[in-house]
Structure 1
């Protein structure tokens, strides 16, 4: 304790003189002397920010958050996350950590808000396996908030957006993924489908929109094809089907649909131009399709 107190006094002297490198070196000595804590890594991150070394600061801040979580100092963890965001350090895992910490603080609405922000980020999949246990823990915590049941259900749907095609991802990376983890991840898509069946059965327009929002294009295509069997001349349904084929990386099928629509003589000039634009996009994408 005497050694740590002495090091901390020396650190403060260097901070007052704005000698950041010397302060950082002493913080490392403090850690080596058994002084590892969220507070120490938080302050170490501050020193690196003073030096404008954002990469090193980020590393230390994230370590501080992990230690705060370990020590159940959740408010401290949210403070560090908020500080990083104020500094413009935008990372999808920060949104996730804010959701996790707020869930542990029993702040359900805040947890949901941050988790929704996390799920909107295109890089979510990269963080998915790292946080698999936290996902399960957090969704369990949130499910205990009766007033949040609808929002939590929507979160499962949004998780489904990111997990569509996850089966293939797991096949590529076979090691380190247990059957229970895989079962949990894929249950998100099942939950999404159950939500659609329960809430929007018979409302095909809403069903198609939800599937497209979730990037579950195969399901959307199935509903649209059923609609066309019932109304073969419905141009709007054909257009949506073509767009779904495009979104599902099937430009050849999309091209056939758009050509068929253009052949219809009853199209307005404006609609014709719109469909020709889609057809051009499909043809351009066909250049990069080998099968």
Structure 2
């Protein structure tokens, strides 16, 4: 490595003697070891002294680049201006000055230098560099039409037709914004010269024709467009609008039906067709069209438009409009309106002799307006009527049936339903182990530690009484894990530190049953063969219980066989189908799970909470099977029924990320309308 000070002294000696070349050689020797912007600048000055402008400019460029890299933009700026004093047409210096001015926010100066750089580009790399410069200028001055024209011409010469068309579209928009219709039409037509089926250009030309009163020309142009783009529903929709403007109603209706056939949930098409029916005085048909468009309006968050339509058609379909208004007002957080609509719905249900549904509406309205005495009186009166019916139904249900139904409700998280099903049997079936096991699981899920411990203590006694002390001890260990400080457990069992985790809640599925050993399985298989011979095909209850037992033992194939038999009984259809789908999911057979759930959903008549829980299960299986569009449609349907059900809102957001918003726009219509309560 050279000694810096000695090299500098040597170079200065040569300069003093007028030996410029030797001085430059010394400085270049120094710069190899000590690169520096000032050194490059000194070398440039030396080259300039000997009138070597080319090497001088090259050194000044290197100096400027060094200073820019080091963050000294003002020094770089001065050097580029120094270069321009030597060579005013230096394209690189002009471009760099454009960049420096852009960085400082001096837009006008940046554009001036960029354009000067473009004008002075050397011929060799002119086209690519020219486009780069023009793109920079357009970014700084997007409304500069003359420049866009130049860029479009360059793209056209290079054969980049789509890029050229894009620039002409932009110019046409600018002219349209400035009110120059003639120029705007000229550039939209230029776009079509490069892209004959450019939808935006076709539609904008049509809008301009209509705006300027050239309806005949607009009709001819859009009719031709429908033949060029027969699959483009936006073109057909625009054609319908022009026909309506020209009062050619049947032609418009024909176009709209074509759009709806392809896109049943197209909001604009449905609304236009609804408007036609309104003008014809056919409000029932208009309501049918508006109803089909409501889902899309809600997804687009056009809540006020949706509310206006619903309010307008209350006299046509008070039940459907009422349900949807309740759902909308809930989403908007307008509780007063929610209460009013619930009361109106309750009155409608009462008139239809649907007391249970009416009671649900009134009770929910009462939670919003607890001080409404007349509403409270309605609730009290209806509760008496409904309770009689409820007691009658309860009297017919056995404990085994209640436990099976509770299993289904537990799976779907319907904890209040589980409680209503099981608690009434505590007095009549105090020693039923299955009953208390389900109650224990219920209280674990709901986080009720005190009731969980109570059920653990009861189960401990019942298992000991049945001669299964080991199981009783296991139950007490579970109780310790749930609530180690519980006084009722003191002295009942000694639990190791590995077993107890103070304060940690016990998960409902955290306790696994040990797998049966080979000897037990051999005995069980013999028992199974004998049992299956004795079973009748129509003994659906026993087949269901046997399937549950098989599933708990991990015998999934045997469980599938038994669930397939038990689901043939109407009473066992829902529970068996749900469990059967779970078995198929465990085996990764998602298409079979989908078929089972779809079949069960079609056969279910009452759309109660368990129905929607099955819908949710179906959506999840669709998701597992990558049927994202079907999953999204199912989740949206559930959301419309109850936007707070499980995590349906999050599910919709997650699926939209996967499939994109286009799926939402093309969501197909459904035959049956859903409940919004």
Contact 2:151 2:164 in 1 (8 A): no
Structure 1 distance, partners of 2:32, 2:53, is 23
The alpha-carbon distance between structure 1 residues 170 and 42, as it changes in their structure 2 partners (threshold 3 A), is farther
Query: Which residue number corresponds to residue 174 of structure 2?
Result: 195
* Change in 2 beyond 3 A, CA 1:42/1:133: farther
Count of residues paired in the alignment = 190
- Which residue does 1:20 correspond to in 2? 20
**Counterpart Cα distance in 1 of 2:144 and 2:125:** 18
Give the SS at the match of 2:3.
helix
Contact kept, 8 Å, 2:67 with 2:76, in 1: the verdict is yes
The CA deviation at 1:29 is 0.5
Measure the CA separation in 2 of the matches of 1:76 and 1:112: 21
CA distance in 2, matches of 1:159, 1:104: 23
Please state how far the C-alpha of 1:17 moved relative to its aligned partner.
3.0
Match of 2:153 among 157, 164, 187: 164
| 3-state secondary structure, aligned to 2:125 | helix
- Deviation of 1:200 (Å): 5.3
TM-score if structure 2 supplies the norm length? 0.24
Superposed displacement of residue 63, structure 1: 2.1
User: For residues 39 and 107 of structure 1, do their structure 2 counterparts lie closer, same or farther at Cα, with a shift above 3 Å needed?
Assistant: farther
Higher relative contact order (CA 8 A, sep 6+): 1
- 1:289 corresponds in structure 2 to none
Aligned-partner Cα distance in 1 for 2:170–2:124: 18
For the aligned residues, what is the CA RMSD? 4.2
Q: What is aligned with 1:46? A: 45
The alpha-carbon distance between structure 1 residues 17 and 199, as it changes in their structure 2 partners (threshold 3 A), is farther
**For residues 104 and 133 of structure 1, what CA distance do their matches in structure 2 show?**
17
Matches within 5 A, 1:121-160: 121=120, 123=122, 126=125, 129=128, 143=140, 152-154=141-143, 157-158=146-147, 160=149
Within a 5 Å distance, the mapping from 1:55-204 to structure 2 comes to 55-121=54-120, 123=122, 126=125, 129=128, 143=140, 152-154=141-143, 157-158=146-147, 160-162=149-151, 164-166=153-155, 169=158, 191-199=170-178, 201-202=180-181, 204=183
Q: 1:188 to 1:91 in 2, by over 3 A?
A: farther
Counterpart Cα distance in 1 of 2:126 and 2:32: 30
SS, match of residue 181 in structure 2: coil
Q: Is contact 1:95-1:118 (8 Å) kept?
A: yes
C-alpha displacement at 1:49, in angstroms? 1.4
List runs of 5+ in structure 2 lacking aligned partners. Answer: 195-677
How big is each residue's C-alpha offset from its partner over 1:60-79, in whole Å with a ceiling of 9 and x where there is no partner? 22222222222222111111
Which segments of 5 or more consecutive residues in structure 1 lack a partner in the other structure? 144-151, 172-181, 220-291
Contact 1:78 1:101 in 2 (8 A): yes
CA distance in structure 1 between the partners assigned to 2:94 and 2:121 by the alignment? 13
Structure 1 residues 132, 168: CA separation in 2 closer, same or farther (over 3 Å shift)? closer
Structure 2 vs 1, CA of residues 121 and 5 (structure 1 numbering), >3 Å: closer, same or farther? same
Do 1:95 and 1:115's aligned partners in 2 also have CA atoms closer than 8 Å?
A: yes
Q: Which residue of 1 aligns with 2:372?
A: none
Q: Tell me if the contact between 1:92 and 1:121 (Cα under 8 Å) persists in the aligned partners.
A: yes
Q: In 2, are the aligned partners of 1:164 and 1:189 still within 8 Å (CA)?
A: no
With over 3 angstroms needed to count, the CA separation of the structure-2 counterparts of 1:103 and 1:196, relative to structure 1, is same
* C-alpha separation in 2, matches of 1:32 and 1:95: 28
When residues 122 and 135 of structure 1 are mapped into structure 2, their CA distance, relative to the original with a 3 A threshold, is closer
Contact 2:114 2:133 survives alignment (8 Å): no
Cα deviation per residue 1:204-258 (whole Å; 9 max; x = unaligned)?
Answer: 4x998xx8xxxx9x89xxxxxxxxxxxxxxxxxxxxxxxxxxxxxxxxxxxxxxx
What CA distance in whole angstroms lies between the structure 1 residues aligned with 2:83 and 2:9?
Answer: 26
> Residue deviations 1:50-101, cap 9 Å, x none?
1111222222222222222222221111111111111235222222111111
User: Which residue in 2 is equivalent to 1:5?
Assistant: 5
3-state SS, counterpart of residue 83 of structure 1: helix
Q: Structure 1 length normalisation: TM-score?
A: 0.51
